[in-house]
A and B are shown apart, each in its own frame.
Chain A
Amino acid sequence: MNLRAYVSKLDWQKHLRDPRTYGVLEILTYLWRTGPLDAHRKAAFRWGLQLLRRAYRRERPVVWTNVYTPPESIWALGGLPFLPEVAAAVVANVGRAPAFLQAAQSAWYSTDLCSFHRCGLGLALADLAPRPDLVLATGHLCDGAVKFLEAAAEVYGVPFYVLHVPYGGGAREVRWLADEMAALAAELRPLLRTDQRLQARVARNSNLARQYLVEINRLRALEPTPWSGQEALTYVAVLFMALGTPGGALFYRRLYRALLTRVRLNRPAIPRQRFRLLWLHFRPYYPGEPLSWLERERGAVVAFEEVHNVTWDPLDPHAFWSGLAARMLGNPLWGPARRRAEQVLRLVRRYRIDGVVHFAHWGCRQSNGAVPVLQSACAGAGVPFLNLEGDCIDARNAGPGQMRTRLQAFLEVLEGRKSGDHGRR
């Protein structure tokens, strides 16, 4: 049989929507031999396949939502969170984003809008993603997320809910938001049900994952740092989707062991580490993205990224909604930009950072708009700051040569600071 001919004739769309596809792939993962250094990758991959299988099989109500919505809230409601923004990153990673971006553009969605959202809309218009039973948007971190999810709900003709996340972070706001979440849970009762036992289970898994993540973050402060930022910014999807599940806890446990092993064996993921960078926002997810080059060829390792900073307390199962409300309100990326700037400076100190890189994803007004404040804070602290313009999803929107020029120039700045001149051969 001619395999290539067979593959070329496959109805990819039909197979992508078929839960059995993911079941088969899941079985095939048993053939994937891993060791202590990469068992976490297999755990994440399997978890992702299971999620898709269950979503396409509609084992539970599928809830579309945006990143930074605590996934525990949906797991505890008995739902299955699906994040089209994460799906967009996966689609970009396999080089397939342009078709979905084009579909959104053809439906009149401006190319000035965030490409995570446009790609997500494209997936909705193509009806390739698991269909939602309802769509829930939280008002943080950005306007675009609320609006694109509202549009997606209209595409599918399903109910749309928006949870307003207060701008202030005081006790009164936490109570208000917790009450809103409880009220929403009650309103969703016909479709989604929560109870104390389920909340307790989700809280337990979440807290276990959190515990490991705290330890992981501690290891990453070592020199050399054991992990690569490129991989960390890949598995940020686990943070957004799997917290509260046994699979999420398993991933972080295996990741912690992998990094501990690397530390013990003195085998960091990036062998040569000349500079330690702090990365702000996400990274490009398409093939040929610059982070691999930056870390592996130039020795500028992303020692930490702001998105993985653990800023929340363990969940109390008896105050479930309050705990999640406090987490959302306590996120330094929400609210005034000075909170984010303060976190950046703390992370610079904790991780002994040589330079800060903010990835200015096209269309991300909330993050890019904060750059003047971030830049000023870093300048005040004497920390080199690079605002790197690009696009996380659309490779056509970012010149690789231009990005490398900026990154290389930034490294020359860092080199100048370290060595005192422009270097000897």
Chain B
Amino acid sequence: MITVGVDIGSVTTKAVVLVDGEWRGASLLATGADNRGSAEAALVRALAEAGVKREEVAVIVATGYGRINAPFAHRQVTEITCHGKGCHALLPQTRTIVDVGGQDSKVIRVDDRGRVVDFVMNDKCAAGTGRFLEVMARALETDLAGMAALARRAGTSVPISSTCTVFAESEVVSYVAQGRPKEEIIRGLHEAIVDRLEAMLGRVGVEPAVAMTGGVALNRAIVEELSRRLGMEVHVPPHPQLVGAFGAALIACTATA
């Protein structure tokens, strides 16, 4: 049986193809201004990688903010449930998931079957999201890829607002004007993101094991800082950006049973 999960996020669209529950193909591309078009493109690409024809697919589940823009999907399930399912399947010991995407962040608690028990989301402001890092990278004239390395190099950090991206950017500009080293500022930014995540974790409660998903999970400096704050390892599954789509594809499997 072949199932597909399509995760249409505000920044990227992802698709994962499963054949009898096994990962066979995947795709990731920028969503852009055409949700429907990018959903279709992601599906086509993932199917091509899997070597599967569209008519062979039994069920497609769409998730993410743009899930209503996937007319080819048989079901729509929220990204909260999909991340819970997907991450738990990849790391069965997971009970708390921190997902930080381009424009939102969420903390999800799951039970031993990957079912969501509680969740909290931030998608109203950029603080604590990938967008926060993008804005700051621009202000510091650096790139996202290099930020983690710079942060890990800093011996100390500067305090930066964790509640508002606009305040934070203003503080960054002030620090730059004061001549503070870029590494310290970047480390401060990472700590501000983790402050935010820690607050969200506090609201939902932390139950080990903790895993991190989403694009920002590729930033080792954030993962290490979060691990340090929680006093426990934060696991990152392979392909953290694709966890939502994977979870959707898994849910598609149960939908046909």
A contact set with B: CB distance below 8 Å = 372, 375, 379, 384-385, 387, 389, 399, 401-402, 405-406, 408-409, 412-413, 416-417, 421-425
Contacts and interface: CB of A to CB of B under 8 A. Distances in A.
B167 interface: no
Contact of A375 (B79, B80, B203, B257): B203
Q: Which 8 A-B pairs have the closest CB atoms?
A: A409-B80, A409-B78, A416-B115, A412-B81, A408-B78, A413-B116, A425-B255, A422-B251
Interface stretch (B18-26, B49-57, B117-125, B168-176): B117-125
Contacts of A417: 115
B254 interface: yes
Nearest to B204: A375
B44 interface: no
B118 A422 contact: no
B125 to A, nearest CB: 11
B118 to A, nearest CB: 7
Given A402-B123, A412-B116, A416-B115, A422 B203 contact: no
Contact of B78 (A379, A384, A405): A405
Contact of B65 (A387, A405, A416): A405
Given A412-B77, A412-B81, A422 B117 contact: no
A422 B124 contact: no
Contacts of B75: 425
Contacts of A385: 118
B106 to A, nearest CB: 9
A372 B119 contact: no
- Majority secondary structure of chain B interface residues (helix, strand, loop or mixed): mixed
Contacts of B59: 425
B74 interface: yes
8 contacts: A387-B120, A405-B65, A412-B77, A416-B81, A421-B113, A422-B77, A422-B255, A424-B254
B65 A422 contact: no
Contacts of A372: 203
A118 to B, nearest CB: 19
Interface of B: 59, 65, 74-75, 77-81, 85, 113, 115-121, 123-124, 203, 205, 251, 254-257
A424 B257 contact: yes
B254 A421 contact: yes
A405 B10 CA distance: 13
A416 B124 contact: no
A423 B255 contact: yes
A423 B76 CA distance: 12
Contacts of B256: 425
Contacts of A389: 124
Contacts of A412: 77-78, 80-81, 116
A228 B44 CA distance: 44
Contacts, number: 62
Nearest to B255: A425
Nearest to B256: A425
A93 B78 CA distance: 29
Contacts of B124: 389, 399, 402
A423 B119 CA distance: 20
B121 A422 contact: no
A406 B205 CA distance: 18
A244 to B, nearest CB: 41
Nearest to B75: A425
B118 A379 contact: yes
Contacts of A409: 78, 80-81, 116, 119
Nearest to B78: A409
A401 B67 CA distance: 10
Nearest to A406: B121
A341 to B, nearest CB: 16
Identify the interface centre among A401, A405, A417: most chain B CB within 10 Å of its CB. Answer: A405
A337 B50 CA distance: 55
Identify the interface centre among B65, B116, B251, B257: most chain A CB within 10 Å of its CB. Answer: B116
Contacts of B65: 401, 405
Nearest to A405: B78
A424 B255 contact: yes
Nearest to B116: A413
A425 to B, nearest CB: 5
Nearest to A416: B115
A83 B120 CA distance: 34
Contacts of B205: 379
Nearest to B251: A422
Contacts of A406: 121
Contacts of B251: 422
Contacts of A399: 123-124
A289 B136 CA distance: 36
A408 B77 CA distance: 8
Given A405-B80, A412-B78, A425-B75, 5 more contacts: A389-B124, A408-B78, A413-B117, A423-B255, A424-B255
Nearest to A401: B65
A358 to B, nearest CB: 12
A423 B79 CA distance: 16
A357 to B, nearest CB: 13
